[in-house]
Structure 1
Amino acid sequence: MGQLQDVGEADGWRCWLCDEPVEPDMSPNDPRGASLDTRTSKGRAKKKKQDKGNLPTERLAHKSCNTGKGSNDPVVPWPDHLIVVDPAPIIAAAERLERKGGREAMARCPTRQDAEAVAEWLVDRLSRLAPGLDVSTEIATTGGQHLVSLRTS
């Protein structure tokens, strides 16, 4: 239980996939119980562990989230309340920003208000998904829509 406790504390007892709280004392057999998940698929996780010692390779996840993901690359869903067009895969974008920095276009929104809500959510979500990654958002008006991008500091 020591490793699970350490990872749970590091992740603030929140599932890194669904971003919902994880109860540390819940049975590990319960679908909402705590489990350890590798950050990427097994082959890539081993490579990352060797190449990038600073990236966490184990994260806290609900048993149901971890089981649902299986051995596939994880997907962090965009929340239903955000209005986005062409949303980017969040984990892939975070990994690219961690690896090489720069800028990543994340989504287009129909209104400035929608884009601001997306920008706020992205910064908050990335603060838990990739705690060491310092990002800011940019909103650009293009063709009557608003493009939300992340940029490393």
Structure 2
Amino acid sequence: MLGDGRGDSLFRGLIESIVSDEEQSVVYVPGISAEGNIRSRHKMVNPKADVKLKTSRVTAASVSMESLKGAGDSVDEQNFCRGGIKSASLKDLCLEDKRRIANLIKELARVSEEKEVTEERLKAEQEAFERKIRQLEEQNDLIIKEREDILFESSLF
């Protein structure tokens, strides 16, 4: 899978994207929680409209999540998380989280490569064992045939 180079280039592209995001300047957006208060400067075309939009999203998200937690309905909570917060991206993460993601991607690539190598080695060992089993079965058949020949010859005398 990854041995063809396509998977490696995909992982490298993601890592380069994360690293290039780290080099961008960041600004504080008032009214946003501490977790999401870092935004890239080039992304904000109209800062006032963006702040109002994001503030209303955060308020709506916190109200909706509190009502879901009170109801204890995990299915609704999962659906909200899938459909309600679609604006999250790598650019919204802090540098530490981006580094963690980059490290996880590198680890995934390494583990995937190890898995591929292990699968190939296992397949080669399995083929070698199958050849050995066929060889032993052939030897066993020869031994049985020789024994029958010896018994047949001894019964003639």
Relative to the length of structure 2, the TM-score reads 0.19
Name the TM-score, length of structure 1 as normaliser.
0.19
Q: Point out which structure has higher relative CO (alpha carbons under 8 A, 6+ apart).
A: 2
Highest Rg: 1 or 2? 2
Q: Which has the higher strand share?
A: 1
Task: Identify, as 1 or 2, the structure richer in helix.
Answer: 2
